[in-house]
Amino acid sequence: MVEDRLLIWRCRQGSRAAFRRIYEKYESDLRTLAANLLGDTAAAEDVVHDVFVSFLKVVGDFELRSSLAGYLKTCVANRARDYVRKRRGQSVTAADVERATPDDGPLRLVVQSEELQKVGSAMSRLPYEQKEAIVLYLSGRMRFRTIAKLQKVSVKTAHSRYRAGLDKLKLMLNSEVGK
């Protein structure tokens, strides 16, 4: 937190090194969050890039009220939702999650196990609001209160979306294993 305040102060002075440090510090978490929300690594890269560029533009007037990580994650969630809205009509399929290979485009998706691939595939079939609640809570490590604020719903609804999403995932995965 103290380091972030110092970095922001240095960013305001035009320190390239400070911007670089912020990028290096948060890029990986934000990329993971965006990729989990979108199921598309190329789109995730664009979203993360846009978030950093928009941070660059506002840093002059930026006031750090809570944590920088929280602010950046919220920006990623908002932009990811915008992206999905624009893309609505085109379905996000499991193939989107699995298609990235070392030689397929600039990003490499590191899938740690077959199970994780299956989870990703199942998540792509969830309603976006439920998937968002799950990803923000588990991958983004956000509180339900923050998720509720972001989704403009009550804390109870955010929690219900999370639970309902998890139940559906379990059902999907059990039926896949049973095949």
Partner 1 sequence: MKPSENIEESIRERRYRATAEAYDKALGSFMQAVDDHEKQKAAAPGPHIWRIIMTSRILKLAAAAAVVIAAASVVSYFGGSIDGATPLWAIEQTIEALDDTRNCVISGTANGPLRSMPFKCQIESDDCLRYESDDEVYVIKGDLSHLYYPAYGEVVVRSGGDPTWYHKLMEIRLWASGSLLERLRTMADDWQETYADDIQTGRESVFVTCTYLDRSIWFQVDVETKLIVRGKLWRHVGMQGAPAYVAETILYNVEMPDETFDFVATPGVKVVSEEERKARSALFDEAWALDKKKQNGEAIELYQQIYEKYPTWQWAAWSLERIGDLNRLRLGRRDKAVELYEKIIREYPQLSYRLLRTYHSLGRCYMAAGRNDKALEAFETCLELGRQRNEQWFVFDDCKDKIAELKQALDREQ
Q: Is 41 near partner 1 (CB under 8 A)?
A: yes
Distances (CA, A) of 31 to 18, 44, 52, 73, 139: 19, 6, 11, 10, 11
- 89 contributes a contact to partner 1 by CB under 8 A: no
Q: How far is the CB of 157 from partner 1 (least distance, A)?
A: 20
* Positive or negative: CA dihedral 29, 35, 38, 42: positive
**Residue 86 binds to partner 1 (criterion: CB under 8 A):** no
Q: Does 110 bind partner 1 (CB under 8 A)?
A: yes
Distances (CA, A) of 131 to 7, 28, 85, 109, 177: 33, 20, 14, 19, 21
Q: Does 143 participate in binding partner 1 (rule CB under 8 A)?
A: no
Q: Determine whether 5 is exposed, middle or buried from the number of CB atoms within 10 Å of its CB (0-12, 13-18, 19+).
A: exposed
- Quote the least distance from Cβ 83 to partner 1, whole Å: 14
Max Cα distance, the chain (Å): 59
Name the segment binding partner 1 (CB under 8 A); options: 18-26, 65-73, 79-87, 148-156: 18-26
Binding site for partner 1 (CB under 8 A): 10, 13-21, 23-24, 27-28, 31-32, 35-36, 41-42, 44-46, 48-49, 52-53, 56-57, 60, 102-112, 115-116, 118-120, 123, 134-135, 138-139, 166, 169-170, 173-174, 177
